[in-house]
Structure 1
Amino acid sequence: MQTSRFLITGGSQGIGAAIVGRARKAGHQVVFTGRNDQLIGSVAQQTGAHGVRADVSAADDNARTLEACQTHMGGVDVLINNAGYAYRAEIGSLDLDAMKRMFETNVFGLVDLTNRVVPSMKAQSQGDIVNLASTSGMKGAATATPYAASKWALRGITQCWQAELRPHGIRVTCVCPSEVQTGFGGRTGRNNPNKLYADDIAGTIMAALDMPRRVLWPELAVFASNPWKED
């Protein structure tokens, strides 16, 4: 893969931070976003990437993020839509306002940011967009109505963008990780060597981007080979 300019949302921790690290080690320029100044500073110091405190659900923040990309890199070649979180509840006790707030980040904010990036990718007749969905968007589960709905939506959005953007040389890939050992949802301490790690997902994404430009992986589900094995 030629040296590229990456914009990675939610890059201050978890999968996002792992992608930042992988991209920087490969020699790419990187701007990443996050909402925690301390975490942003730590990742920036460790990787040399440029961190921006921004919330993808805020239109003004998205505009400022794109300004930072233009200032520090001159544009965006690869957009990794990673920022997102989970709200879960059983039907009958759903808080619709909480579900709508989650959609502002997981769906509408992602669409707003991509809407701002795509015109320049079209102008250069090349680009990559990677949307981080989830295997929760492939199979329903108890309490998953809000979160799964947002990830099912993202899979459908990805397919629409593929139809629209392939003629412009822009590849759009949807990655659906299974359970990954990060602090996602406030869950920590899951030190099970058989489950997926954030770097596994980052490596998968970089492998997809490294494919010749004639190759598009439209959707990738990533599972641990044997997460139930006890060591």
Structure 2
Amino acid sequence: MPSLESLSNLALVTFDAPERLLAAFGVLVLAYAFFHLLGFGTGLIASTPLAWVMPVPRIIPLLALLDALSALQRGWRARKDVDKSALGQLIPSMALGQALGVGLLKLLPLSLSAGLLGGFVMLYGLHGLRPLPGLGAWRGPTVAYGLLGGIMGGMFGSGGFVYAACLKARHGDDRARFRATQAVVISLSTLWRIALCALAGLVDLPLLLTALLLLPALPLGAALGNWLDKRLDAKGFARLLNGFLVISGVALVLRGL
């Protein structure tokens, strides 16, 4: 049976040095603070800095493992607040959207698809921050959000901000219902991503051990997020959410470029 030291050394295969592991830990604490607040954002915050300290092909499966655990934990604890009606509409349309996203990824130039989708999300967030005169907030059907989020997930690996926009529109200032439902949606989507990564051979023992070493970043991030949440009123929370939508849209456009 392998010793604890040999398992630790195996986990550190993902990094060149222990200080890189510490840097990744700090990044993840911040990322999961925002994940606790918004139900998405770990990839947006963590992907770029993590690329400086660990191999890029390891980032997506690592975040998928940690996201799934965090979202499942939150969803289970708050299961009584889950909006089952929204789930019934989001999940099937999300699955269809992911299939469409994969197909579009093969057909459309990345720059065009990223520009169109990123521009839409950016404008949605900007409208939330400062509504245009005479134009009310869009309240499209939940199925449409599921399709769009699934397409974003299939093409770019992230549709969480679309589901967040949908649930914020449905539940307004009811943060408990918003977060519980978002957690379940993200966990199901992330579990599917883990399955795909495993089939592609991207999930191995060193990655699992690395995720185990970084696991304490989740409760620390949640504690930080909870501290921030107590200092945000409803308007502050809405500004934070819409601000992240704008950043997400810009990030998609830049990814295409």
Structure of higher CA gyration radius: 2
Higher share in strand? 1
Do the structures match in fold with TM over 0.5? no
Higher share in helix? 2
What's the TM-score, normalizing by structure 1? 0.27
What's the TM-score, normalizing by structure 2? 0.25
